[in-house]
Amino acid sequence: MSSAPSGALRAADSDRADVCGMLDAALADGQLTAAEHATRTSAAMRAVTFADLETLIADLQLPEALVDTPVVRADLRRPHRLRMPLAIVAGAAALGAVVGLAVGCAGGGAETAAEAGRPAFTTPNGLARFIADYRAHFGDTSVDEVTLHPEHVSIVRRAADNPAQEDRWDYDGEFDHSVTTSRDPDDPTIDLAALDLPAIAAVLAGSTRTVGVPEGAVTHLGIEPSDHAGIAGGLEVQIFVADERGGRGDLTVAADGAPVAVFPAGR
């Protein structure tokens, strides 16, 4: 990590956000429990110096996409630095590696969800919990499409005994069946287990800045079959961002976090 002088340097909000993204990724790949993640995230938000932040990630394996930051690399630290947001995309191929304002640390209804004792479903922690609960409830991770809001999830799933019918469910910590309707038996299904959760966590962490809404939050996620042949996992994750001033943008990635499309604010 760093020497004592650079460790004593005061951290900026962007540095705290970088660590939140790292903690979200560690939760998603099983390095941290939910309780550990919550404790460390709270500490990251209160951290004063780089040394404070270093202690929170010292025992973690960090994805390669998340290590090129001043928190990890002391050589990037300097007083009075002006650093561009990490989530600015340097070409579409870099989208899967962007890191910026971690959704797990702010916005998107996370405070309300936290008050209810669970993470917002638009955060990596919330997405991972939903998938685990979905598998436990249905016995598999097959689905037609899913829309995740901070406080609830809408699910469309092929009926177990009839491929020409679909069941619609709502989830807010518990599963409630709403209605059964007809579907085309040939419509594709997707497997939520195909999602590379650490990669999706990295994209979520930088999504607000990627779409040019740095003060915004993720409003909802959509997961559905992809129309693009050969795309990883056969599915796409749509990430929608907005702020209180009306700024909006969205981006779409594959199951492995690879970019599909970016629609920035003001397009």
pLDDT tens for the chain, residues 1 to 267: 444 456 788 887 677 777 877 887 888 788 998 778 878 877 887 788 889 999 999 999 987 767 778 888 887 776 544 333 333 333 333 333 333 333 344 444 444 555 556 789 999 889 999 999 999 999 999 999 999 999 999 999 999 999 999 999 999 999 999 999 999 999 999 999 999 988 899 899 889 988 899 899 999 999 999 998 888 889 999 999 999 989 999 999 999 988 889 998 876
> How far, in Å, CA of 216 to CA of 204, rounded?
12
H-run or E-run covering 253 = strand 248-254
> How far, in Å, CA of 72 to CA of 111, rounded?
28
Sign, Cα dihedral of 165, 255, 210, 216: positive
Contacts of 129 (CB under 8 A, 6+ apart): 34, 118, 119, 121
What was the pLDDT predicted at 24?
76
What was the pLDDT predicted at 217?
94
Q: Which among 66, 84, 64 has a CA at the least distance from the CA of 53?
A: 66
What is the CA 191 to chain-centroid distance, rounded?
A: 18
Q: What are 239's two structure tokens?
A: 């990430």
Cross-strand partners of 236: 224, 254
Buried b (16+ CB within 10 A) or exposed e, 176-212: eeeeeeebeeeeebbebeebbbbbbbbbbbbbbbbbb
> How far, in Å, CA of 124 to CA of 104, rounded?
7
What was the pLDDT predicted at 27?
83
